[in-house]
């Protein structure tokens, strides 16, 4: 993730530098490469890591309700399958024919 952050930040810095150069904001007395100017616009590693930590924590927090729902759906499907298998076994024990209707459950996404 940090590598992707640096790549995106470098791309953004280069675009800003190019836009500034086209707009004529470049100082004539100092000539620096586009890469050096883009590098000067980067934020520090500590700031980057802190931001990414908080961003990932926020995304996880926002996903928790969906994860809980997925777990509940899986539990319901497992319970339904277990009940179906038990019913089929009970019908065989009493000598009745097993139901021909197959168990169909929508899988969780």
Whether the pLDDT of residue 91 is over 90: the answer is: no
| Other beta carbons within 10 Å of 28 | 6
CB 77 within 8 A of CB 105: yes
Please report the pLDDT score of residue 75 as a whole number. 92
Mean pLDDT for the chain overall: 78
Using CA atoms, how far apart are residues 17 and 68, in angstroms rounded to an integer? 46
**Region of poorest pLDDT, from 13-17, 76-80, 85-89, 92-96:** 13-17
At 3-38, the pLDDT tens digits run 777 777 777 777 877 777 777 755 554 566 666 666
pTM greater than the 0.75 cutoff: no
């Amino acid at each position: 993730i940090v590598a992707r952050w640096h790549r995106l930040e470098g791309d953004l810095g280069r675009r800003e530098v190019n836009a500034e150069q086209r707009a004529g904001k470049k100082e004539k007395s100092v000539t620096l490469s586009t890469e050096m100017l883009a590098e000067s616009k980067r934020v520090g590693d500590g700031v980057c890591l802190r931001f990414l930590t908080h961003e990932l924590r926020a995304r996880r927090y926002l996903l928790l309700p969906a994860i809980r729902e997925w777990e509940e759906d899986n539990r319901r499907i497992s319970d339904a399958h277990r009940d179906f298998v038990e019913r089929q076994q009970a019908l065989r024990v009493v000598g009745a024919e097993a139901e021909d209707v197959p168990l169909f459950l929508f899988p969780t996404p």
